[in-house]
Structure 1
Amino acid sequence: MSLFDVYPLYDVTPVKANDVFVYGDDGNKYLDLYGGHAVISIGHSHPLYVNSIKNQIEKIGFYSNSVQNPLQNKLSEKLNEISGCKDYQLFLCNSGAEANENAIKLASFHNKKSRLLAFNNSFHGRTSAAVAATDNKKIVAPVNAQQHVDFVALGELEKVENILKENETCAVIIECIQGVGGLEQSSTEFYQGLEKLCKEYNTLLIADEVQSGFGRTGDFFAFQSHNIQPDIISIAKGMGNGFPVGGILIHPKIEASYGLLGTTFGGNHLACSATLAVLEILEKENLMANALITSKYLQNAVITIPEVKNVKGRGLMLGLEFDFPISDLRKTLIYKHHIFTGSSKNPNLLRILPPLTIKKEHIDSLINALQKELN
């Protein structure tokens, strides 16, 4: 049997990893400045993280959500404490797409509306409603396209209001910093205006924090710097540091009922242990503060590279924008300098999404490589 060929692959085969480094079967040591799509938050193979999962699997790795699982309650309490999202409710699932799918479904249950509003260049996942809210027609199948989704440009509050006035939109879903879309973001005035319109027209505001959450921006969530309160917050990626886990934080005004949402694997013992370890390490090692320090260092360092026309994003969710496509540059960084970076919908944007444990000397390695290749 062959693999279903949907991924264009680089000729690198990782066999082990530690902190910010990945080791290939070719004997090379690669600096990981991409974190596997922003998944690696606390560094590869962190000993506390490894021991947490190891100790848990020796006890019990999984049982269904038909029985008590105290680890879920412990995780909910810890998230409440660290995230700053007081009194929200937690529903656990397995991925970012599933988190957004449940968020959209829950919004529709709550206000009995069926339309959705999303933004140009958005990416929310590949499942039914989540992919319909993703601004990429190539990955939206005809069966997904039956969802009614209105797309608006970031910053267009008037257009948002004209759509919400029709009283058919269950939710507005937004990435406060777009990931795949190219690190675009709008103003605090826009995000606060969006929150106000959602309240006025009985529409739920969903903050997609799948990529930007869990400290990547220097805040626990990207929306927090804008002083808004979403109705639902979707989380995944850095949440489990590579273990498949996702979830949504749900405002207390939204009522739960038996059978409203469900999942087989979501919130299993191993997933909870992985996430609890991530939260403990984020806190103990002050990784959100490190994200801000190293982000500032990188942004100051790239001033020495005139080919970098713009730096987008915040914290360790950054994009270096050039005036040429970066696909060949990425290959050179991988094969010649042994540095992993990322791409986006913007062909000229080099995405930097490293583990939050990154240090200044790792950034120096990137700057030196860029200087050598671009000069």
Structure 2
Amino acid sequence: MELFDVYPLYNITPASARGVIIKDESGQEYLDLYGGHAVISIGHGHPHYIKRIKNQIDKIGFYSNAVHNPLQHELTEKLGRISGCDDYHLFLCNSGAEANENALKLASFHTGKSRVIAFKNSFHGRTSAAVASTDNPAINAPINRQQQVTFLTFEDIDALRKEVAKGDVCAVILETIQGVGGLDEPSSSFCAEIAELCKKHQVVLIADEVQSGFGRSGKFFAFQHHNITPDIISIAKGMGNGFPVGGILIHPKIEAKYGLLGTTFGGNHLACAATLAVLEVLEEENLMANATEIGAYFKECAKQVPQVKRIKGKGLMLGLEFGFEVADLRKNLILNQHIFTGSAKDKKVLRVLPALNIEKVHIDTFFTSLKQELE
């Protein structure tokens, strides 16, 4: 048997990792400024994270949601307090795609409607309704195209008003910092308009925080930069620091019923331990403040690079836009400078998504290396 060949791979085999450093099988070290798609939030191999998971697996690693799991309640309390969303309810699952799938499904249940409004350059996952709400025809199979989704452009208030007023929309799904699309952001006034229209027309507002959540933007959630209140918030990626975890935060106006949602693996004991460890480290090491500070330092350094046309993003969810496609630059940073960065749907954007405990010295290393590759 062979692997199903769907990933173009760099010829690198990581063997170990600590903090923001990855070491391959030959002993070569790499500076990780991408965190495996923004997954590594508190650094590779954080000692508290390792201890939490080891201690838990010595007790029990998994059982289904048919029994009590006190870790879920501990997680719910801590997540509500740290995020500032204490009045929401939590449903746990396993990934960002599953989180958005459940969010869209719940919105449809709640409203009795089926059409979704999403935005151009969005990315919400690869499952049925989530991928249909993703603005990339190449990953939408015919079976996904049965979903009713309308794609709009940020700031087009007239189109938004017109579509929502038709009365058949169950949800508006929004990334307030687009991830895969390339770090584009709506204005606060546009976000406020979305929230007001959703409230007026009984449409569920879903904030996709899969990549931007858990402190990456400098606030716990990126939508909190815009003073809006979503009805559902989807979370994953940095939530488990590499352990597969996802979830949705659900406003109390949406009623729970037995059997409405379900999952086999979601909220298992190890997943809860991993997420609790992340929350504890975020709080104890003040990593949201660090994301803001290091993000500002990154932007100041980027201003000194004349080839950078635009600096995008907030906190440690960052992008550098160039006047050329960055595929070769990204490849050279990996192979020549031993630095991991990321690409985007916008082929001129280089994405930087490091662990939130990264230090200024690592940013200095990146810009020294970047300038060498741009000479």
Runs of 4+ aligned residues of structure 1 deviating over 6 Å after TM superposition are none
Q: Which residue of 2 aligns with 1:2?
A: 2
Q: Which residue of 2 aligns with 1:348?
A: 348
Q: Which residue of 1 aligns with 2:333?
A: 333
Is it true that 1:198 corresponds to 2:195 in the alignment?
no
Q: After TM superposition, give the deviation of residue 267 of structure 1 in Å.
A: 0.2
3-state DSSP of counterpart to 2:90: strand
Q: After TM superposition, give the deviation of residue 26 of structure 1 in Å.
A: 2.3
Structure 2: gaps spanning 5 or more residues: none
Please list the CA deviations of residues 45-79 of structure 1 after superposition, one character each: whole Å capped at 9, or x if unmatched.
00000010000000000000000001000000001
3-state DSSP of counterpart to 2:331: helix
The alignment-based identity, stated in percent, is 65
Q: After TM superposition, give the deviation of residue 161 of structure 1 in Å.
A: 1.2
Q: Which residue of 2 aligns with 1:225?
A: 225
Is it true that 1:38 corresponds to 2:38 in the alignment?
yes
3-state DSSP of counterpart to 2:264: coil
Q: After TM superposition, give the deviation of residue 303 of structure 1 in Å.
A: 1.6
- What is the alpha-carbon distance in structure 2 between the residues aligned to residue 321 and residue 246 of structure 1? 30
For the Cα contact (< 8 Å) 2:77–2:86, is it kept in 1? no
Q: Which residue of 1 aligns with 2:322?
A: 322
- What is the alpha-carbon distance in structure 1 between the residues aligned to residue 314 and residue 304 of structure 2? 19
- What is the alpha-carbon distance in structure 2 between the residues aligned to residue 225 and residue 303 of structure 1? 23
- What is the alpha-carbon distance in structure 2 between the residues aligned to residue 157 and residue 197 of structure 1? 10
Q: Which residue of 2 aligns with 1:252?
A: 252
Q: What is the identity, as a one-letter code, of the residue corresponding to 1:266?
A: G
Trace 1:173-212 onto structure 2 (pairs within 5 A).
173-212=173-212
Structure 1: gaps spanning 5 or more residues: none
Q: What is the identity, as a one-letter code, of the residue corresponding to 2:187?
A: S
Q: Which residue of 1 aligns with 2:87?
A: 87
Please list the CA deviations of residues 317-348 of structure 1 after superposition, one character each: whole Å capped at 9, or x if unmatched.
00001001111111110011100000000111
3-state DSSP of counterpart to 1:288: helix
3-state DSSP of counterpart to 1:78: helix
3-state DSSP of counterpart to 1:172: strand
3-state DSSP of counterpart to 1:281: helix
- What is the alpha-carbon distance in structure 2 between the residues aligned to residue 302 and residue 115 of structure 1? 41
Trace 1:246-325 onto structure 2 (pairs within 5 A).
246-325=246-325
Q: After TM superposition, give the deviation of residue 100 of structure 1 in Å.
A: 0.1
- What is the alpha-carbon distance in structure 1 between the residues aligned to residue 31 and residue 206 of structure 2? 34
3-state DSSP of counterpart to 1:304: coil
Q: After TM superposition, give the deviation of residue 125 of structure 1 in Å.
A: 0.1
Q: What is the identity, as a one-letter code, of the residue corresponding to 2:223?
A: F
3-state DSSP of counterpart to 2:372: helix
C-alpha RMSD over aligned residues: 0.5
- What is the alpha-carbon distance in structure 2 between the residues aligned to residue 372 and residue 44 of structure 1? 27
Q: What is the identity, as a one-letter code, of the residue corresponding to 2:101?
A: E
Please list the CA deviations of residues 9-48 of structure 1 after superposition, one character each: whole Å capped at 9, or x if unmatched.
0111001100001110122100000000000000000000
3-state DSSP of counterpart to 1:166: coil
Trace 1:115-134 onto structure 2 (pairs within 5 A).
115-134=115-134
TM-score by length of 2: 0.99
- What is the alpha-carbon distance in structure 2 between the residues aligned to residue 303 and residue 187 of structure 1? 23
- What is the alpha-carbon distance in structure 2 between the residues aligned to residue 317 and residue 325 of structure 1? 20
Q: Which residue of 1 aligns with 2:361?
A: 361
Q: What is the identity, as a one-letter code, of the residue corresponding to 1:110?
A: H
- What is the alpha-carbon distance in structure 1 between the residues aligned to residue 155 and residue 248 of structure 2? 25
Please list the CA deviations of residues 63-109 of structure 1 after superposition, one character each: whole Å capped at 9, or x if unmatched.
00000001000000001100001210000000000000000000000
For the Cα contact (< 8 Å) 2:339–2:366, is it kept in 1? yes
Q: Which moved more, 1:313-322 or 1:157-166?
A: 157-166
- What is the alpha-carbon distance in structure 2 between the residues aligned to residue 50 and residue 373 of structure 1? 36
Q: After TM superposition, give the deviation of residue 370 of structure 1 in Å.
A: 1.1
3-state DSSP of counterpart to 1:145: helix
3-state DSSP of counterpart to 2:51: helix
- What is the alpha-carbon distance in structure 1 between the residues aligned to residue 229 and residue 214 of structure 2? 16
3-state DSSP of counterpart to 2:242: coil
Q: Which residue of 1 aligns with 2:112?
A: 112
- What is the alpha-carbon distance in structure 1 between the residues aligned to residue 209 and residue 80 of structure 2? 16
TM-score by length of 1: 0.99
3-state DSSP of counterpart to 2:194: helix
Trace 1:226-245 onto structure 2 (pairs within 5 A).
226-245=226-245
3-state DSSP of counterpart to 2:281: helix
3-state DSSP of counterpart to 2:146: coil
Please list the CA deviations of residues 247-280 of structure 1 after superposition, one character each: whole Å capped at 9, or x if unmatched.
0000000000000000000000000000000000
- What is the alpha-carbon distance in structure 2 between the residues aligned to residue 295 and residue 186 of structure 1? 19
- What is the alpha-carbon distance in structure 1 between the residues aligned to residue 264 and residue 277 of structure 2? 22
